[in-house]
Amino acid sequence: LHLLSRRQRQMCIRAGIKCGDYYEHSIRRINTVKLDKTSFVYDGKAKKPNVYVNDSTGKPLKNNKDYTVAYNSDCKSVGKHSVKIIFKGDYSGSRVLYYTVLPKQTNISNLKTSKKSLTVSWKKVTQVSGYQIQYSQSKSFKNAKTVNVGYKYSSKKISGLKAGKRYYVRIRTYKNAHNNKYYSSWNKTKNITIKSKILDAAVNESGYSGIFCLPSNLTGDLFVICLLYTSDAADDLIGV
């Protein structure tokens, strides 16, 4: 005795042939089709997220029995990738889900300041189209300015800054792929106070290694209070 499911019997009826005896069993509809991860960071290795399929009762369907999974041939490059789930057995149809591989992050290796400017240096990484630098006087990067730099470079001088002001700086990588631009996460924010010509001279003449300044408003007059410092000596306070 050859027993058929409802779907198999319907296929026989449509074909106009007798295929066997019919038995009826309940097939729950598919409720959830998802990936365990939808975002990865490029590391040169193939990225193949796991697929989870559940019916309306929450029961998981079985891979290779109820469905098969097909990944793109290229699963490691930066960009958007697809996963095709093809249903079989008691189920039919297909679904396509997507995940993204983002470029690797970089970090600021050094911040230097000169007259009304700063120079940002960073570690070069592979598989990127360039680097994006943001800088602002606000720690939250309100009204931040953005500079894009090509992948061949590992430093950038930014001019036209205000002397004596503190600037916050961060950097991320980007990759152009499939008519889209994909960004890494931002690196840890760093900050620096911009030097003026007078303060540079004070540092050079004193033999100290750096200077840190804060604006002050005493008796209605504007002052800048500065600390000259060395790595192995106590801080000395001077007024400019």
Q: What pLDDT is stored for residue 212 in this prediction?
A: 56
* Residue 177 scores a pLDDT above 70: yes
Check residue 1 and give its pLDDT. Answer: 38
Q: Are 63 and 69 in contact (CB under 8 A)?
A: yes
Residue 215 has pLDDT above 80, yes or no: no
Cβ contact 212:199 at 8 Å = no
More confident residue, 22 or 73: 73
Query: Taking 90 as the threshold, does the pLDDT of residue 170 lie above it?
Result: yes
Please tell me which residue, 198 or 158, carries the higher pLDDT value. Answer: 158
Collapsed DSSP state (helix, strand, coil) of residue 6: helix
- Does residue 207 have a pLDDT over 70? no
Percent of the chain with pLDDT over 90: 62
pLDDT of residue 28: 83
CA atoms within 13 A on the CB side of 14: 6
Q: Which residues pair with 108 in a beta bridge?
A: 122
Kindly report the pTM of this predicted structure: 0.69
Band (pLDDT 50/70/90 cuts) for residue 237 is very low
pLDDT score of 103 = 96
Sequential DSSP letters for 110-127: EEEEETTEEEEEE---SS
* Cα dihedral sign, 27-32-35-36: negative
As a whole number, the mean pLDDT across the chain is 83
Beta strands in the chain (DSSP E): 3-4, 21-22, 30-35, 39-41, 51-55, 67-71, 79-87, 94-102, 108-114, 117-122, 130-136, 145-150, 155-159, 166-177, 180-183, 190-193, 210-218, 221-229, 236-239
* Cα–Cα dist 214/208, whole Å: 18
The three-state DSSP-derived secondary structure of 171-206 is: EEEEEEECCEEEECCCCCCEEEECCCHHHHHHHHHH
For 8-22, 116-130, 165-179, which range has the lowest pLDDT when averaged over its residues? 8-22
Q: What are phi and psi of 9, to 5 degrees?
A: -65, -40
Of the given ranges (57-61, 73-77, 217-221, 236-240), which has the lowest mean pLDDT?
236-240
pLDDT at 195: 81
- Run of H or E residues at 7: helix 6-15
Eight-class DSSP state of 63: B
Phi (first) and psi of residue 204, to 5 degrees: -65, -40
CA 222 to mean position of chain CA atoms: 43
pLDDT digits 0-9 by tens, 5-34:
666 667 776 766 666 555 455 678 899 999
